[in-house]
Amino acid sequence: VIPARSRGALRVSAVAEAERTATSSSPAPTGDITNKLKYLFGKEAAETPKDAYHGTAWSVRERLIDSFDKTHEHWKKEDPKFIYYLSAEFLMGRSLTNTVYNLGLEGEYADALRQLGYDMEKVADAERDAALGNGGLGRLAACFLDSIATLDLPGWGYGIRYKYGMFKQVLKNGYQAEQPDIWLTSGNPWEIRRDGLRFEVGFGGRVERKKDGNKEVTVWTPSEKVWAQAYDNPIPGFSTPTTSNLRLWDAQPISEFDLGAFNAGDYDRAMLDRERAEAISAVLYPNDSTPEGKELRLKQQYFFVCASLQDVLSRFKATHGTKFELLPDKACFQLNDTHPTIAVAELMRLLVDVEGLDWDAAWTITTKCLNYTNHTVMPEALEKWPVKVMAKMLPRHMEIIEVINEGWTKWLGGHLKELKAEERAKRISAMSIIHENPWNKEEMLVNMAYLAVVGSSAVNGVAAIHSNIVKDEILNDFYQIFPSKFQNKTNGVTPRRWLAWCNPELASLITETLGSNEWINDTEKLSALRAHASDPTFQKKWAAVKHAKKEKLAALIKKIHGDSVNTNALFDIQIKRIHEYKRQYLNVLSIIWRYKQLKKMTPEQRKKAVPRVCLIGGKAASAYDMAKRIIRLVTAVGDVINKDPETKDLLSLYFLPDYNVTLAETIIPAAELSQHISTAGTEASGTSNMKFQMNGCLIIGTWDGANIEIAEETGVDNVFVFGVRADEINQLRKERKNFKTDPRWDEIMKDIEGGMFGDKDYFKPLVDSVNNMKVGNDWFLVANDFAAYLDAQEEVDKVYKDQSEWLRRSIMYTAGSGKFSSDRTIREYAEDIWHVKPSRPAA
């Protein structure tokens, strides 16, 4: 039996908390919560969990602001170097639990809520996710903010305050449908609107040269202007007085409203400016890995970059005047993928056109301040903007990029002077920031990754294998020129949200076993669990926690699907964006095979089978047709096997709709096996693999992304590794048409085509994509890995039957997860790239 959440075991120190509470000038939470309800919401009492949430959140917000103010007063006085994390996405999820725990207020607020008749968990459940991101890249940015604050590093995030975040996914007859994410309607207690803090951002218009004395200056007159209005989102560190900031920009019209047009009866025109402006920060682009070249997206990118850079420069000038040569000692910017890369041109424009620096001085400063992280190897996801689009929307930036490119290619010519003229010309053309569209010779493109590399001090990939692919393949030409620019920074996740707060039962057991909760800030300490991995008493406690989490997830499945699943079954989970390269398809095929085997078994044989509950969750980009078909295949297969009375206790498959951060917080602690089965060399890193590992979940995976490093830390023999290796892929792709598929594969394909799961016309393109070499050619080599995958799954069953071995491995996973704390990642960025040092305010 698991003891009720033993909060004490998680606290930094109960005594310290009591002291802090005793000396705190903040009002007692119970009264404060009811006050907030009365004066902000006009309610006499908390009638629903939602009321209780609002009262609590607005009360906690004040503590957060106190801490925010102290931190920023301190930083203002100390004037340390700052890191600014520029990202089009921050997938924050919920804030209440995280804030309360990070600030060490959980005891106070849980007690207060109990007095009001509420349970903290239920109340926290009333909060909506802030889903301002698509997937891994956006969630990584959120984990990084948590670590930056926890490590007392002077640093902020900068992004966009989308009015509508990631779409809500619903299932309609088993097909994905998208609904808007309207998340701001009841207000957002976690943000502070900074009245008066706004910057003008321009688009379009013309560029002219004018004389200023005997100096020629460039003047850009935009044809469209909007305000970028600042909203601050305080980010509390854990076990530190530091509260840092995520500043998000909201787009607003320059003129409130066209009264002239209104008076003339033209209501539509009167509102036009407002609509046009607001459209910029209205919606998050729901694309994963397949960006669409939509102009509005470039507008969004420039919008937040322009506002952020102006904001940083204005603070810099307030302390250092125009000594811009000091800027690289005071500020650096991390570009989260190519989305904020227009920063290279914008910083040049601000320094040269606005501040009057000469080009070379500005270029030295710019390249010292910027750094770029690559998150993908998918060639189609490397952003390229048509010169025409760029020149129309950002005419001055296009000029600047041309000048940068001239300087760059000229420098390159000198650098490569040893080469023969023809070879040299070829290399220069291959590395030109502006180049022809290979599929349309009429069109010229700006390659944003090339601009980012040329304009940055450091370029990094997000796992060891990925950083090598970046160096050896994607940006190899550049690597040869600037080998020292290229680095690896293996991703990490915050152990606060992803272990301590989402799995307090396991966290308490760990704290109790290790004798302190220091592991929350120093995850290397988890390695001491290795000594307990084979201890039967400890294993029993470990298993009890896992079982309790499985019960909780089972209750959720019951709520969503109405079915009771077998909680003694192995919980087998794959949750991530739906993409062909992530190969949810491969998973479904093996589930079909398992089902067919079960059907053939005698009742006696079935008794020996390992029961499984398979769960798949994730969103498909709305325009990603094949991904939507994969979702339908999951639901169609589930419909058949979940209804089969003969096998349903031994095998079930559910699609969990609307996978998001909050759902992950329930799923991950309950998982026993998680799947990370991308085609080798395609998943840059993956980060959910790290979250599963921390929670003692075994991994079945390919030799890809961070799986490799996770296996190294956990012990390769403890991981179910299968499949072809990244360096074999090119050759196998060439040979795929001659590949002899496994007979089991052929059988399953016939089943799908033959309508065993219905919808056979809808599934035809899916079958073709992996079988018909004229149509799909199985680019992600599903067939090549199929047999090895089935073998690995068999091995999973074998180990699960030996529960003590399974539990030993489970403990070894958590014990080996120390490396994957985002604290470690952020420390590496701070030391190797940012050169930023901690600066902690007094408590």
Active centre residues (catalytic):
375, 576-577, 582, 687, 691
Distance, CA of 223 to CA of 227 (rounded, Å): 14
Q: Which are the contacts of 729, defined by CB distance < 8 A and separation ≥ 6?
A: 679, 680, 681, 781
Q: What is the closest distance, in whole angstroms, from the C-beta atom of residue 333 to ligand F58 in the complex?
A: 18
511 membership: H or E segment, kind and range? helix 504-514
Cα angle value 57/62/64 (rounded, 5°)? 90
User: C-alpha 382: how far from its chain's center?
Assistant: 17
Q: What is the closest distance, in whole angstroms, from the C-beta atom of residue 242 to ligand F58 in the complex?
A: 24
- Interface size with ligand F58, residues (CB under 6 A): 20
Contact positions with ligand F58 (CB under 6 A) in 757-786:
none
Q: What is the closest distance, in whole angstroms, from the C-beta atom of residue 781 to ligand F58 in the complex?
A: 18
Beta strands in 745-802 (DSSP E): none
Dihedral (CA of 306, 312, 317, 323) sign = negative
Q: Which amino acid is at 203?
A: F
Distance, CA of 112 to CA of 767 (rounded, Å): 57
| Nearer to ligand F58 (CB atom), residue 116 or residue 475 | 475
| Nearer to ligand F58 (CB atom), residue 124 or residue 140 | 140
User: Considering only residues 157, 492, 681, 705, which one is a binding residue for ligand F58 as defined by CB under 6 A?
Assistant: 705
Token pair, residue 289, equals: 């890995």
User: Considering only residues 134, 229, 334, 674, which one is a binding residue for ligand F58 as defined by CB under 6 A?
Assistant: 134
Distance, CA of 274 to CA of 827 (rounded, Å): 43
| Nearer to ligand F58 (CB atom), residue 491 or residue 511 | 491
20 membership: H or E segment, kind and range? helix 14-23
Q: What is the closest distance, in whole angstroms, from the C-beta atom of residue 160 to ligand F58 in the complex?
A: 12
| Nearer to ligand F58 (CB atom), residue 336 or residue 405 | 336
Taking residues 740 to 759 in sequence order and writing x for each that binds ligand F58 by CB under 6 A, - otherwise, the string is: --------------------
Distance, CA of 791 to CA of 77 (rounded, Å): 61
Taking residues 454 to 493 in sequence order and writing x for each that binds ligand F58 by CB under 6 A, - otherwise, the string is: --------x----------------------------x--
Q: Which stretch binds ligand F58 (CB under 6 A): 99-107, 129-137, 504-512, 605-613?
A: 129-137
User: Considering only residues 229, 242, 376, 494, which one is a binding residue for ligand F58 as defined by CB under 6 A?
Assistant: 376
Taking residues 70 to 89 in sequence order and writing x for each that binds ligand F58 by CB under 6 A, - otherwise, the string is: --------------------
Q: Is 108 exposed, middle or buried (0-12, 13-18, 19+ CB in 10 A)?
A: buried
| Nearer to ligand F58 (CB atom), residue 462 or residue 783 | 462
**401 part of the interface to ligand F58, by CB under 6 A:** no
Contact positions with ligand F58 (CB under 6 A) in 284-303:
287-289, 291
Q: What is the closest distance, in whole angstroms, from the C-beta atom of residue 687 to ligand F58 in the complex?
A: 5
Distance, CA of 383 to CA of 396 (rounded, Å): 20
Taking residues 656 to 695 in sequence order and writing x for each that binds ligand F58 by CB under 6 A, - otherwise, the string is: ---------------------------xxxxx--------
**163 part of the interface to ligand F58, by CB under 6 A:** no
| Nearer to ligand F58 (CB atom), residue 134 or residue 308 | 134
Q: What is the closest distance, in whole angstroms, from the C-beta atom of residue 287 to ligand F58 in the complex?
A: 5
Beta strands 720-721 and 698-701 are parallel
Q: Is 644 exposed, middle or buried (0-12, 13-18, 19+ CB in 10 A)?
A: middle
User: Considering only residues 74, 330, 375, 396, which one is a binding residue for ligand F58 as defined by CB under 6 A?
Assistant: 375
| Nearer to ligand F58 (CB atom), residue 308 or residue 687 | 687
Distance, CA of 813 to CA of 542 (rounded, Å): 12
Q: What is the closest distance, in whole angstroms, from the C-beta atom of residue 292 to ligand F58 in the complex?
A: 9
Distance, CA of 426 to CA of 599 (rounded, Å): 61
User: Considering only residues 9, 103, 140, 451, which one is a binding residue for ligand F58 as defined by CB under 6 A?
Assistant: 140
Distance, CA of 445 to CA of 250 (rounded, Å): 29
Q: What is the closest distance, in whole angstroms, from the C-beta atom of residue 451 to ligand F58 in the complex?
A: 17
The tally of CA atoms less than 13 A away on the side-chain side of residue 197 is: 17
The tally of CA atoms less than 13 A away on the side-chain side of residue 385 is: 27
Q: Which are the contacts of 514, defined by CB distance < 8 A and separation ≥ 6?
A: 525, 526, 528, 529
Query: Do 827 and 155 contact (CB within 8 A), yes or no?
Result: no
| Nearer to ligand F58 (CB atom), residue 239 or residue 336 | 336
Q: What is the closest distance, in whole angstroms, from the C-beta atom of residue 286 to ligand F58 in the complex?
A: 9
Q: Which stretch binds ligand F58 (CB under 6 A): 75-83, 135-143, 254-262, 450-458?
A: 135-143
Query: Do 713 and 818 contact (CB within 8 A), yes or no?
Result: yes
The tally of CA atoms less than 13 A away on the side-chain side of residue 707 is: 28
8-state DSSP, 353: I
Closest chain position to ligand F58 (CB):
136
Number of neighbouring beta carbons within 10 Å of residue 712: 13
User: Considering only residues 29, 104, 136, 253, which one is a binding residue for ligand F58 as defined by CB under 6 A?
Assistant: 136
| Nearer to ligand F58 (CB atom), residue 138 or residue 504 | 138
| Nearer to ligand F58 (CB atom), residue 86 or residue 533 | 86
Distance, CA of 51 to CA of 791 (rounded, Å): 52
Query: Do 369 and 309 contact (CB within 8 A), yes or no?
Result: no
Q: Which stretch binds ligand F58 (CB under 6 A): 94-102, 210-218, 375-383, 612-620?
A: 375-383
Dihedral (CA of 405, 409, 410, 414) sign = positive
Q: What is the closest distance, in whole angstroms, from the C-beta atom of residue 350 to ligand F58 in the complex?
A: 26
Token pair, residue 209, equals: 């040269």
| Nearer to ligand F58 (CB atom), residue 109 or residue 780 | 780
Which residues are near ligand F58 by CB under 6 A? Answer: 134-137, 140, 287-289, 291, 375-376, 381, 462, 491, 683-687, 705
